[in-house]
Amino acid sequence: MSAPNKSYDPVEVEALKPEEIERMRDEAFAAFAAAGDLDALAQAKTAHTGGTSPLSLANREIGALPPQAKAEAGKRVGQARGAVSKALAARQAELEAERDARVLVEEAVDVTLPYDRTPAGARHPLTTIMERVADVFVAMGYEVAEGPEVEAEWFNFDALNFVPDHPARQTQDTFFVQGTTPDGKPTTGDESGIVLRTHTSPVQARTLLDREPPVYVVCPGRVYRTDELDATHTPVFHQIELLAVDEGLTMADLKGTLDHMVQALFGPEMKTRLRPNFFPFTEPSAEMDMVCYVCRGTSVGNPDRPCRTCGSEGWIELGGCGMVNPKVLIACGVDPQKYSGFAFGFGIERMLMFRHNVEDMRDMVEGDVRFTRPFGMEI
């Protein structure tokens, strides 16, 4: 057995000297006190209580001491570490309380402030009217049909019985995307150019070619004509078109359908009238008018109560209609001996103008929310 190693003096282990331990402890206290927020405190915590902190390193030195020196050094280091973790917990609690107080102030909500500072827009009234009209017909069992806006000339004109030299085919009315044959010659009745559709009626021909009667469809959509944009014209506008083809349909069915539509849109007292007209794709054809929904006809012959909406005529022109021309049925492969049909269509812009006294068409296309917002979600 060897004698105690008298030459080893634990006091000589630098890291375990009482003043060294005190210095380490005080440095930790100072670092915690200096930490201004929880992030800084977390850094100080790692530096002064982590595995490589001075006190942890000193703690490891204890194992190397002779037994008689271990207890004292262990007590000293243990007390210092205890004091450090107590100081850390206290500073942690202090900083958390400060943070909570700050969050309460910074994230406070003033419930008296106006709640809606971002103005909400609104759907465009043209969209809303189109959907509303389509809904009336969907409720009667019609389907919504759509077609391309860049359309074959054949669908836009020929299938609808427009003769080859019809004025509507000329470039002062129609946008031609491709008006010539591949070898550069002007198209004739046998060859089809490409146009921006001038009405929604080509959807009629497409629908009839696509399916067997009975056919009941409503076709809302955008159409194009070479008009300058001014108060009453726009080169891009909207139509809604209706087509019914079935056995035994007559003008009386057309009239009943029109009456139902205006009553659904304008009120139960409304009615329509038909005036003879001509369209290539219907025979017979008619202009349809509805009773002025503002004055209900009371302005007629009554100069004391003039009506701006109908010009004191008592009726408002709504659009065109008629029985589908048998030539159109034949062009679309439908037997006119067995089936008959009716169609009508009208412009949505025009309906918006007389219904809401919109006087300038440019307001509808300029995209100013001050125009659309008053219409809100419902018109």
Among 309, 317, 327, 355, binds Zn ion (CB under 5 A): 309
The residue from 223, 310, 334, 361 that contacts Zn ion (CB under 5 A) is 310
CB 199 within 8 A of CB 151: no
Which is closer to Zn ion, CB of 217 or CB of 310? 310
Contact between 307 and Zn ion by CB under 5 A: the answer reads yes
The set of long-range contacts for 134-141, using a CB threshold of 8 Å and a minimum separation of 24, is: 134/218, 134/220, 134/240, 136/260, 136/261, 136/264, 136/265, 137/216, 137/218, 137/242, 137/261, 138/218, 139/264, 140/216, 140/257, 140/260, 141/216
> How is residue 4 written in tokens?
């105690």
In angstroms, the CA 21 to CA 27 distance is: 10
Q: Is 290 in the site for Zn ion (CB under 5 A)?
A: no
Q: Are 125 and 156 in contact (CB under 8 A)?
A: no
Report the Cα 358 to chain-centroid distance in Å.
Answer: 25
Question: Among 149, 150, 146, which Cα is nearest to 178's?
Answer: 150
**Rounded least distance, CB 314 to Zn ion, Å:** 6
Tokens of 178: 């491709």
Place of tokens 């100072």: 30
Note if the bond before 303 is cis, omega within 30 degrees. no
Interacting residue with Zn ion among 295, 334, 343, 352 (CB under 5 A):
295
Specify the stretch interacting with Zn ion by CB under 5 A; choose among 82-90, 208-216, 247-255, 306-314. Answer: 306-314
Q: Which is nearer to Zn ion, 180 or 357 (CB)?
A: 357
The answer to whether residue 318 forms part of the interface with Zn ion (CB under 5 A) is: no
Pick the piece of the chain touching Zn ion (CB under 5 A) from 18-26, 248-256, 293-301, 332-340. Answer: 293-301
Pick one of 294, 300, 358, 365: the residue that binds Zn ion (CB under 5 A). Answer: 294
Q: Is 291 in the site for Zn ion (CB under 5 A)?
A: no
Residue number, 178 or 309, with CB nearest to Zn ion: 309
Please choose, out of 115-123, 292-300, 328-336, 369-377, the segment that lies near Zn ion by the rule CB under 5 A.
292-300
User: Taking CB under 5 A as the rule, does residue 353 contact Zn ion?
Assistant: no
**306 vs 376, which CB is nearer to Zn ion?**
306
Give residues in contact with Zn ion (CB under 5 A): 292, 294-295, 307, 309-310
